[in-house]
Amino acid sequence: MRLVVGLGNPGPRYARNRHNVGLMAVDAIARRYRFPAFRNRFKGEIAEAPIGADRRLLFKPQTFMNASGEAVAEVARFYKIAPSDIVVIHDEIDLRPGKMRVKRGGGAAGHNGLRSIDPLIGPDYWRVRIGVGHPGIKELVQPYVLQNFAADEMTGWVEPLLAAIAETIVLLLDGAPDAFMSEVARRLAPAEATPPSPAATG
């Protein structure tokens, strides 16, 4: 796998929206592996550096979410990257907040970014789905995903999850998706309580 894409909307107005958690994940990966500054190319921002033993591309489309496929397709064509070598990180309303799932291929499930990508490169790419929860009513989905994460969400699960993804993304890029999911879950699991010693219990 060579290309990691984070989905979201461009500009500071949307930077902390739930819909932008994919872009936030790519920024976390860039910080963890000390990528150089992103360059403006392919209707987006791109950077290249090693992750593990190989050089990888990070890409942040700067089209709006509904046109993400235009930018992703340009990068894939230029670098001749097959869909199976592309990882797309995006928000998922059908997963509870803080849950992460990985799959290759499948449908768009109503996600406008994926719906834009699929016709242009095909569906056979990897998806890292980050749960942001559902507002409970279909009509509220759009305003919900365009809201900022609350401060307690950021510290409670968003930042820890993004850090875990950044730290362990090398497993997914090296072809071990199950190990990647397991390691992210392990890092986020609450520490087991240490049983009191007999002396402490009297």
Domain ranges across the chain: 3-189
Q: Which residues share a beta bridge with 54?
A: 51
**CATH superfamily assigned to domain 3-189:** Peptidyl-tRNA hydrolase (3.40.50.1470)
- pTM, two decimal places: 0.91
pLDDT at residue 52, as a whole number: 86
CA 44 vs CA 35, 36, 41, 86, 133: distances in Å:
16, 15, 5, 16, 27
Question: Which residues, in sequence order, are bridge partners of residue 50?
Answer: 55
pLDDT (mean) for 10-28: 96
Report pLDDT for 194: 46
Question: CA nearest 149: which of 162, 166, 164, 139?
Answer: 162
Q: Residue 162 corresponds to which amino acid? A: L
Cβ-count burial 6-35 (b if 16+ within 10 Å, e if not): bbbbbeeebebbbbbbbbbbbbbbbebbeb
Active site residues: 19
The tens digit of pLDDT for each residue in 96-109 reads 999 999 999 988 87
Q: How far apart are CA 186 and CA 198, in angstroms?
A: 29
Extended strands (E) in 9-141 = 39-41, 44-51, 54-61, 86-92, 100-104, 126-131
Q: What contacts 53, CB < 8 A, 6 or more positions away?
A: none
Confidence tier at 193 by pLDDT (50, 70, 90): very low
pLDDT of residue 32: 96
- Asked if pLDDT for residue 120 goes beyond 70, the answer is yes
Q: Give 144-175 pLDDT, tens digit per residue.
A: 999 999 999 999 999 999 999 999 999 999 99
What pLDDT was estimated at residue 1? 60
Please check the confidence at residue 200 and state whether its pLDDT lies above 50.
Answer: no
Q: Tokens for 156?
A: 């409670």
Average pLDDT over residues 128-135: 95
